[in-house]
């Protein structure tokens, strides 16, 4: 006997399960399109691998919209046209730039808006365009790829590698066994010098301390000189002025003396011609008088009483 099946419960279960699956699908595929959006275009020449429709669009890291469409530019197949839906009110300016960024190692790409200074005018639709076009800039990986490509395509790269190889060979030839031995000896000598310096660390410290003290004394001496230098300069200036005054006085005295000599030249000539001759005779007489006085003084010293009693007569000899 077959069991009875409650088809109402089965139908209810299937309906609930279908509703749940539909809700899950809608939740997984839901978009955050809430509000009013504006459409913008941007064109890129690099690969947009990793970027898909409904990818996030960020403005300085803040979500501001979604990628709506990714197609080749109908007018230029070398470019990719990307349609962006941005929340109305997003500050898209004329200097705003679109950059494609890759998120880590997953390869998922997002569109990031950069730039947009405060004083720049808003981006508007140009004649002949359907939507405003935001300028694009190559991503970091695109710039790196182009730079590597230019380096690899440069004809000078093989020559550079050859020169580096020759340089390595020359360096290997220079650093031979003898050079290594000399280098080891130099290092050993440096180690000895370092050890000697380390052993005399205390003496070096004392020497440095004495040098510091000497520098401090020299600084004090220099400071004193700097303080006394204005007074010394004033004294030197005063001495120079005094010397100048003295020189002027000497010059005036010399001029006066010269004038006096010029005025009394005849009297001076008469004095030198007559008076000096008579003076010479007078000096001779004075010399004779001085000699006589000296003899008189000697005799008075021998016989002091001769001044009163006169010179004594010499004693008579026998038979006188």
pLDDT in tens, 195-216: 887 777 778 778 888 888 888 8
The domain limits of the chain are: 31-138
Distance CA 233, CA 142 (A): 75
Distance CA 63, CA 86 (A): 9
Distance CA 261, CA 275 (A): 18
**Residues found in the chain:** 320
pLDDT of the residue at 43: 92
List the alpha helices (DSSP H) in the chain. 7-28, 140-153, 156-174, 177-199, 201-263, 265-270, 276-302, 306-309
Q: How far is CA 124 from CA 82, 89, 115, 165, in A?
A: 17, 13, 16, 57
Residues contacting residue 166 through CB under 8 Å, at least 6 positions apart: none
Distance CA 101, CA 143 (A): 12
How many CB atoms neighbour CB 146 within 10 A?
A: 12
Task: Give this prediction's pTM.
Answer: 0.40
pLDDT (average), residues 106-122: 83
Residues contacting residue 8 through CB under 8 Å, at least 6 positions apart: none
pLDDT of the residue at 85: 92
pLDDT in tens, 150-159: 666 666 667 7
Distance CA 256, CA 222 (A): 49
- Tokens 């530019």 -> residue: 73
Average pLDDT, the chain: 77
Q: How far is CA 90 from CA 54, 64, 167, 176, in A?
A: 18, 7, 57, 68
Classify residue 132 by burial, with Cβ atoms within 10 Å: 0-12, 13-18, 19+: buried
pLDDT of the residue at 305: 59
7 vs 23, higher pLDDT: 23
Distance CA 265, CA 271 (A): 10
Model confidence at 268: pLDDT above 70: no
Tokens of 273: 């011609």
- Cα angle for residues 64, 70, 72 (degrees, 5° grid): 140
């Amino acid at each position: 006997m077959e069991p009875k099946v409650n088809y109402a419960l089965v139908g209810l279960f299937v309906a609930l399960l279908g509703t749940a699956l539909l809700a899950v699908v809608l939740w997984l595929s839901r978009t955050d399109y809430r509000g009013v959006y504006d459409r913008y275009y941007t064109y890129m020449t690099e690969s947009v691998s990793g970027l898909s429709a409904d990818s996030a669009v960020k403005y300085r890291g803040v979500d501001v919209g979604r990628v709506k469409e990714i197609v080749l530019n109908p007018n230029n197949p070398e470019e990719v046209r990307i349609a962006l839906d941005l929340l109305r009110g997003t500050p898209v300016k004329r200097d705003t730039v679109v950059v494609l960024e890759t998120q880590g190692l997953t390869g998922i790409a997002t569109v990031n808006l950069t730039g947009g200074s405060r004083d720049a005018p808003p981006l508007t639709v140009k004649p002949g365009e359907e939507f405003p076009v935001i300028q694009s800039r190559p991503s970091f990986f695109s710039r790196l790829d182009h730079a590597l490509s230019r380096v690899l395509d440069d004809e000078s790269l093989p020559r550079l590698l050859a020169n580096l190889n020759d340089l390595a060979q020359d360096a290997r030839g220079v650093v031979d066994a003898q050079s290594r031995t000399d280098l080891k000896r130099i290092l050993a000598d440096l180690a000895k010098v370092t050890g000697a310096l380390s052993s005399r660390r205390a003496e070096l410290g004392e020497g440095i301390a004495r040098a510091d003290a000497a520098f401090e004394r020299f600084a004090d001496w220099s400071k004193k000189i700097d303080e006394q230098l204005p007074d010394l300069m004033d004294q030197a200036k005063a001495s120079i002025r005094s010397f100048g005054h003295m020189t002027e006085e000497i010059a005036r005295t010399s001029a006066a003396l010269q004038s006096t000599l010029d005025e009394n030249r005849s009297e001076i000539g008469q004095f030198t011609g007559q008076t000096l001759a008579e003076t010479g005779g007078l000096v001779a007489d004075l010399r004779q008088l001085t000699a006589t006085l000296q003899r008189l003084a000697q005799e008075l010293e021998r016989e002091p009483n001769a001044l009163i009693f006169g010179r004594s007569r010499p004693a008579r000899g026998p038979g006188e």
